[in-house]
Every structure is written in C-alpha cells, then in structure tokens.
Amino acid sequence: MGNQENTVPIQPALREVFDHQQRAFRQYGPLGYAKRMEALDTLLQTVFKYEDILLEAVNIDFGQRSASETRILEIFPVVDEIRFVKRNLHRWMQMRTVSVNWQFLPSRGKIVYQPLGVVGVIGAWNYPVLLTLSPLVNALAAGNHVMIKPSELAPSTATAIQQMVSEAFPEEYVSVITGDKNVAQIFATLPFDHILYTGSDRVGRLVMKAAAENLTPVTLELGGKSPALVHESYSTAIAADRICSAKFWNAGQTCVAPDYALVSSSKVDEFVRDCQKVISRRFPRPSCNGDYTHMISPAAWRRMRDLVDDAECAGAQIVRPGSANETFTAENRVYPPTLVLGAEGSMRVMQEEIFGPILPIVTYSSFDEAIAFINTRPRPLALYYFDRDSPRIKKVLEQTVSGGVTINDCIFHLPQHTLPFGGVGPSGMGAYHGFDGFATFSKKKGVLLQNTLVGSILSRAFKPPYTSRSDRMIAFLLKRNKLRSTPRFTLARKKQGHS
Ligand code: NAD
C-alpha cells in the first residue's frame, strides 16, 4: 500500500526522511512486543522530562493557557493512554483464533494485527501536544515508524515536540517535521502507509485527495457543530455547569466542545440564569483571569467578533457574564465567554463550527422537534444529552448519528481508552484511542489454516472437472436457505416485535 509515486515535487529533506524510515522499517522488520514497550516507556519518560517545556510552549502559543489546563487536558491524557496501551499491548498483539464456516471445519481461522510501515500524523493547533502524541502512542504500539507534522499555528509547541522526539528516538523511527502549510501540503503527498489527520474539513478534503494519489488510507479527525440537548425535566443548574465548563475550557477551542445548547422554551430563562452564574463563578474577569485561555491568533479573535456582530444584527441578544467594564481586543486575544440568546439557523453562529467561547442557545418546543433540529444538520463529532429517563436516552442514541456521545456531561467520552474516538461523515472518518488506535495503525490480516482432509474434499468436489457429485453437493449447500415463496421487502415496520 502507498508505494506508487506521484507527480508533485517533494522537498528532498522530507522525502529523505520518509525513505530513511521506509528502509529502516524493512531492515529491522516489524518491531516485536519488547521493542514497542521500550518505545512507549521512552516516550512516557520523555514526556515527564519535557513537561515544563511543553507547558510553557503551549502557554506562549496561546498567549495564555494555564499550566493546570494543559496538564489536565493534554499531558495527563497522553500519559494515561501510554499506561493503558502498555497494560494491554501484549493481549492486542496476540494472534486470535476465530471459527471458520462450518463447511471448512476443522480448519482454523486466525487474525493477525501487523504494523503498516511508515505512517504520517498531521496535527491541529488547539491541543498541540495531545493531537500529535496520542496518535504517536497508537502508531508505535502497532509497530510503525512515524512522521509527525504539528500545526504551524502553535510553533513553540511544534519546536518543543521536535526537540523532545529527536532526543528520544532516531530519525528513522520517529521524526517531527516543522514548517508552514506548504510543508504540510507536501507532507500529505508522501506515500505513507496511513495518514491520521486532525483539523478542519476543508483541509481534510485536500489531505484525502493527496493521499488518494498514493492509495494511502486516511483517518480524518475533523470538527463540526456538536449539540448539547437538555431535556426539560433535567436540572438546568447541572446542565448549565457541565455545558459551560466544557464550552469555555481552552476558550471554546475544542473539537468536542458543545457548539450550541438546545433547551426547552419552558426552561430557557432558568438555563440562561444558571449559565450566567457558572460563567461568573468559573471564568470571572476574563481579561486578567489566569485560568482563562486566550484565542490562538488575532484572526481567530476577529472571527469571534464577526460571528457575534452578525448574530446581534440579526436580532440575537448577547450576554457576557462576569466581564463588565473590561476591554477586549484582537491584540490581547482575550475573547470573553459569550451567550447568544435567540440564536437562529440563518445566523453565522448556527452555520459554522464556532471553535471559540460563544454559546448560542436555541429553544425547542417539543422533544421530537429537538431531535429533528439535530437530524436536519450535518452529523456532528459529538452529541450531549441531559436526561435521566432511560427510554428517552435510548431514543436519542438510536435516532441521532454522531461521532460519540456523553450522556449527562460533555467531552468525557473522549478520554475513555475503551471507546473509539472519531467522527462520522463531515465530522470525520475512522477512529483511534486505545485498541481502536492500535487497530487503525495495523493491518488486520485474515489467515486460514486449511485442514488436510477438508482441502482434499474441496479439491475433489468443487474444482473442475465438475461431476454430478459436485452438482449434488452445491445444490445441497444452496438449498438450505431457500424459502417456498419469495417475499417482497417493504420499509414499513411489522406491528409486532418492534417499538
Ligand atoms: P487546519 O485544517 O487549518 O490545520 C490542521 C493541520 O493541517 C495543520 O497541521 C496544517 O499545517 C495542516 N495543513 C494545512 N494545509 C494543508 C494541506 N494543504 N495539506 C495537508 N495539511 C495541511 O485545522 P486547524 O485550524 O488547525 O484545526 C481546527 C479544526 O480541527 C476544527 O474544525 C476542529 O474541530 C478540528 N479538530 C478536530 C479534532 C478531532 O479530534 N476530531 C481535534 C482538534 C481539532
């Protein structure tokens, strides 16, 4: 896979690193369990060694992000994932025995997970440590060599990760390529055996196009508008606390942040009051609050301002709790937590992924209307539902399609090592984390160990020259599933047995 050349000229250095990695993969063969564990241990210890450097680099890139936030949202998840992978790797690497079709018994089936070769990781800037190192953990666990292209919008972190990785690993095993989007564009044309890309859907399409030239498979971790739906029976105080905390972490620059809240019109005033309380308590005076993260760039800040101006012009009410008498400018990159009341579908805040500290609040009058609102929009990366009623929770899970779900909270499905993480449709394709990450970066190879007797029966009965015995045997095998009459399929549900 991925060995066809394409016509885009490739920077020699980039291509050299790739060739070097490919040669090393062939030379050293697939790394066994002990070497992979050694690599994971090395990465773990290097993350600890570089912790302060990474915290400071992220802080510089954002203009301000508290060390606590980076520790909670980036360092801990990486460290915890390495520990989880180490605990399970031996089991994941085992050849699995599976049953075979009864006609082939007593032959045996095996599944073997094999490393793919050289994989490419393209990261986004919003969690610049997590989004490069977490795929790295999964790719190393699966036995691959890895090239990483961190985002140029978090340049200090990219340099810190490059230093860290080059200290820990030889270039032919893991290497970090820094540079602007032209470098990223060339990076995507390398004939990798797999690319995991995190970022916008616009660039995701370009990456997929470039990868298609080499038939390189891709995992695309994209974004979208993730709704937080609050049932009218649920405590607005708890829902507001969990939605606002998740929304304003990293100043809303989180792919799985709740993008907007869907609240019953009978409860919206109460919900807004509770949101105001939460914001004033958790994020007071944002212009000088050391726990509140800044926007990644003045351009991102101006985009927030434009989204809010557009909503206000279209009749929305803008509420900024806890930030009275403060000034916010594109230069200081602090954009305060902002509620948009009376948000409507025609406003930009309801058409684009916000990716910043603005929470539009949309009202619904019936539960079915709320579900329909979600289903008429592109499939989101995450969906949050607040309710205690199990049948309704089941209905939401069955009737909506999203990358992942957290019930009665936000974001926390993401760090679960046992849950696949990835989008669907415009929010992404493929998944990683835990075993799913190991599988994403592996070839799942099916193997049949043919039994001698079965092999000779098949040779005699089912291969030319065909005899009347072959016909009798195949007629017997076909007949087993035949019904007397041919039914006609209809989409209408039968009355019994379906709810
Ligand atoms: P982006 O698409 O601008 O950039 C992402 C990466 O793509 C960067 O490393 C950049 O260098 C690279 N790149 C740019 N042009 C390229 C090209 N032509 N070919 C190959 N690579 C190229 O995205 P962003 O602004 O960094 O990230 C924001 C988006 O990412 C949001 O939509 C957010 O929801 C999404 N996101 C998703 C996840 C997830 O896990 N699903 C996580 C974080 C962010």
pLDDT number for residue 481: 76
Give the whole-angstrom CA distance, residue 426 versus residue 432: 17
Residue of 61, 134, 203, 353 to mutate, ligand 1, most atoms within 8 A of C-beta: 203
Given a cut of 80, whether residue 209 has pLDDT beyond it is yes
Q: Which residue has the higher pLDDT, 410 or 498?
A: 410
What's the pLDDT band for 35 if we cut at 50, 70, 90?
very high
Please report the pLDDT score of residue 424 as a whole number: 98
Output the six-digit token pair for 419.
Answer: 């849950």
C-alpha span between 457 and 463 (Å, rounded): 10
What's the confidence (pLDDT) of residue 484?
A: 79
Q: What percent of the chain has pLDDT over 70?
A: 97
41 or 29, which is more confident: 41
pLDDT of amino acid 10: 61
Tracing tokens 């958790």 back to the chain, one arrives at 282
Q: Quick one: which of 140, 146, 139, 142 has its CA closest to 187?
A: 146
H or E element in which residue 284 lies: none
Q: How many helices (H) and strands (E) does the chain have?
A: 16, 16
The alpha carbon of 232 and the centre of ligand 1 are apart by a number of angstroms equal to: 36
pLDDT tens-digit map of 225-251: 999 999 999 999 999 999 999 999 999
- In the chain, % of residues over pLDDT 90: 91
User: Pairing relation of β-strands 174-176 and 194-198?
Assistant: unpaired
Burial class (CB in 10 A: 0-12, 13-18, 19+), 63: middle
Annotated catalytic sites, by residue? Answer: 221, 255
With H, G, I as helix, E, B as strand and everything else as coil, classify residue 339.
strand
Ligand 1 proximal residues by C-beta, below 6 Å: 122-126, 131, 149, 151-153, 181, 184-185, 188, 198-200, 203, 206-207, 221-223, 255, 353, 355, 381, 423, 428
| Closest listed residue to residue 278, CA positions, set 226, 327, 334, 235 | 235
pLDDT at 349 over 50: yes
Ligand 1 centroid from CA 193, angstroms: 20
Confidence of residue 12 (pLDDT cuts 50, 70, 90): low
User: What's the pTM value of the predicted model, to 2 decimals?
Assistant: 0.94
pLDDT given for residue 5 in this prediction: 45
Q: What is the pLDDT of residue 499?
A: 41
Does the pLDDT at position 2 exceed 50? no
